Amino acid sequence: MARFIVFEGGEASGKSTQSARLAERLGAVHTREPGGTEIGSALRDLLLDARTLGLSDRAEALLMAADRAQHVAEVIRPALAEGRHVVSDRYAGSTLAYQGYGRGLPVFELRRLSGWAANELWPDLIVLLDVPRSVAGGRAGRTPDRMEAAGEAFHDRVLRGYQALAAADPVRWAIVDGTAGADDVAEAVWEAVTHRLPDLADPPGAPTPSPPPPPRKPHLLHERGEPGGSGPRPVA
Ligand code: ATM
């Protein structure tokens, strides 16, 4: 069964690396938001360009939703329909955390907006990479984009929002400590994913182990007067 797994987290939490590693291990389609399609790339440029001045919070939420609608229609649903797993670096959880907890828009309205945009496609599992802001890697000298430049208090609200979202829905969200080295985090992610979705533990193409043969009970055949063995039984 094709699975849809999403990575969420604050900036420089290692999502891009870890989502790519999981996708490779699963032979899954690896994608991201915003910008998982050509149209989405144009939206991403607009959304992240520090020169995009005066974008209202609701317009920002709608552009994120538009990116998601295109992404679901063009990439995610077709891949799942073909039986491919999909691993996305960000999805609707980002809208709830950034536009909801960060900007202060009502979370329940954003959930409805995202549901509408995605035609109610929700992930099977969301991996939240938990990295405190004091530990998260820096921006390596480049100018912060429009979202990164939103301020300390904004990003603190986003991280608290993620914790609240994960606590409210522990079946769908798995929190993984993202502070260790990349290999250790990848192993912790794999354990969390295969614990929640055990069907993924078998590598693609691995032969399905055949069930052990049923124990032979010759006395039953004898009791039922079926000489020679058991033919197909009529379905009741
Ligand atoms: P990445 O570069 O981490 O892929 O994400 C770009 C930004 O888009 C990120 N900002 N920071 N810092 C989070 C933001 N974002 C939203 O605000 N809402 C959304 O729905 C999505 C998908 C991303």
Q: Which atom of ligand 1 is nearest to the CA of 150?
A: 12
Query: In this predicted model, which residue has the larger pLDDT, 235 or 28?
Result: 28
Distance in Å, CA 181 to ligand 1 centroid: 23
Query: 70 in ligand 1 pocket by Cβ < 6 Å?
Result: no
Asked if 73 and 170 count as a contact pair (C-beta separation under 8 A), the reply is: no
Question: Which residue has the least CA distance to atom 7 on ligand 1?
Answer: 147
Distance CA 42, CA 58 (A): 18
Residue 125 lies in a domain: yes
Residue 215 lies in a domain: no
Question: Which residue has the least CA distance to atom 12 on ligand 1?
Answer: 148
DSSP 13: S
Residue 234 lies in a domain: no
CATH number of residue 166's parent domain: 3.40.50.300
Q: Cβ neighbours of residue 178 under 8 Å, at least 6 residues apart?
A: 9, 13, 14, 18, 129, 130, 131, 185
Question: Which residue has the least CA distance to atom 3 on ligand 1?
Answer: 11
Query: 159 in ligand 1 pocket by Cβ < 6 Å?
Result: no
Write out pLDDT tens, residues 51-96: 998 999 999 999 999 999 999 999 999 999 999 999 999 999 999 9
Distance in Å, CA 118 to ligand 1 centroid: 17
Question: Which residue has the least CA distance to atom 10 on ligand 1?
Answer: 147
Write out pLDDT tens, residues 115-142: 999 999 999 999 999 999 888 766 556 8
Query: 40 in ligand 1 pocket by Cβ < 6 Å?
Result: no
Position 33 pLDDT exceeds 60: yes
Residue 231 lies in a domain: no
Distance in Å, CA 173 to ligand 1 centroid: 18
Most distant pair of Cα atoms in the chain: their distance? 86
Residue 81 lies in a domain: yes
Look at the chain and report how many structural domains it folds into.
Answer: 1
Distance in Å, CA 195 to ligand 1 centroid: 28
Q: In the beta sheet, which residues pair with residue 157?
A: none
Distance in Å, CA 226 to ligand 1 centroid: 68
Asked if 8 and 127 count as a contact pair (C-beta separation under 8 A), the reply is: yes
- Averaged pLDDT for residues 150-164: 96
The closest of 105, 99, 93, 102 to 151, measured between CA atoms, is 102
Q: Which atom of ligand 1 is nearest to the CA of 32?
A: 4
Q: In the beta sheet, which residues pair with residue 30?
A: 87
Distance in Å, CA 35 to ligand 1 centroid: 10
Distance in Å, CA 135 to ligand 1 centroid: 19
pLDDT of residue 203: 61
Name the average pLDDT for the chain.
Answer: 89
pLDDT of residue 234: 38
Residue 53 lies in a domain: yes
Query: 95 in ligand 1 pocket by Cβ < 6 Å?
Result: yes
Long-range Cβ contacts of 165-173 (<8 Å, 24+ apart): 165/93, 165/96, 165/97, 165/128, 166/126, 166/128, 172/122, 172/123, 172/124, 172/125, 172/126, 173/93, 173/125, 173/126, 173/128
Model confidence, pTM: 0.86
Q: Which domain holds residue 41?
A: 4-200
Residue 225 lies in a domain: no
Residue 45 lies in a domain: yes
